[in-house]
Amino acid sequence: MESVSKNKIKEIRSLQQKKFRDELGLFVIEGVKMVEEVIQHVPHLIDCCIYTSDYQLNNSNLSFPHFQVDAKTLGQCSSLKTPNKVLIVLKTLKNTHKEVPFTLAIDGVQDPGNMGTILRLADWFGVEQIVCSSNTVDCYNPKVVQASMGAILRIPVIYCDLSNYLASTTQPVYGALLEGKNVYKEKLNFEGILLMGNEGKGISEDLLPFITHPITIPQFGQAESLNVSVATGILLSEFRR
């Protein structure tokens, strides 16, 4: 059995930072369930696998480097407080946006938990791609990957200049705005672009002119706003119902 080098451990650890993920084109997925999904579905994307003796890696015919390590070494690679028994280093994908029936556009969401939850629910509702402004949290951030529950493997996420993207489309652009029209009264098909804004500031001012259909979720109680991932879930549900 080959043993893993100190430099490789250091490299994996560095992938907790966006700078190194961008430089190396790699990111980390942790946990048995996601690792097994990766090995089964996208083995060609695997850079390497690190696991402890607690994990049964079926290592016949594996096409990627794999290293059994002690729990301490795994802990050095892991971004989790309580590290799992296996993690995989994967190649990031450079996706480009396409003309698909339904796109979710994200303008500046910052919280990794929100972004991961948005990926997960986009996966639930069958969203074909997510196009993000370049100041949106990195989809390969370990907390995003973890909260996405595998959705990061299935939905293309594209970072670009959203104003260029929205300027070039002929599809309807639905924007979630507090002063939008009551979404319950709109006739919606699962077609177009749904634009969601930042947690505190909402949608940037320079993107407002591209919104053809401002929509809102009516408020019945006293809360001032909804969490962006919950609002995205409710609106996607409205497009699908």
Number of residues near its own copies (by CB under 8 A): 35
- Judge contact between 220 and 199, C-beta under 8 A: no
Q: Distance (Å, rounded) from C-alpha 228 to C-alpha 110?
A: 10
Q: Is residue 188 part of the contact set for its own copies (CB under 8 A)?
A: no
Binding mask 136-155 toward its own copies (x if CB under 8 A, else -) reads -------------xxx--x-
Q: Which of 15, 46, 127, 203 is in the footprint of its own copies by CB under 8 A?
A: 127
Side chain identity at residue 67, one-letter code: F
- Closest CB to its own copies among residues 70, 224: 224
Smallest Cα–Cα separation from 211: which of 177, 234, 238, 185? 177
Q: Is residue 113 part of the contact set for its own copies (CB under 8 A)?
A: yes
Distances from the Cα of 46 to the Cαs of 36, 63, 202, in angstroms? 12, 9, 37
User: Residue 182: phi, psi to the nearest 5?
Assistant: -50, 115
Q: Which of 17, 53, 59, 237 is in the footprint of its own copies by CB under 8 A?
A: 237
Instruction: With H, G, I as helix, E, B as strand and everything else as coil, classify residue 188.
Output: coil
Q: Candidates 9-17, 54-62, 173-181, 220-228 — which segment interacts with its own copies by CB under 8 A?
A: 220-228
Q: Is residue 220 part of the contact set for its own copies (CB under 8 A)?
A: yes
Tokens of 94: 């450079």
- Closest CB to its own copies among residues 208, 226: 226
Smallest Cα–Cα separation from 97: which of 126, 133, 124, 121? 133
Contact residues toward its own copies (CB under 8 A) are 113, 117, 120-127, 149-151, 154, 184, 217-227, 229-231, 233-234, 237-238, 240-241
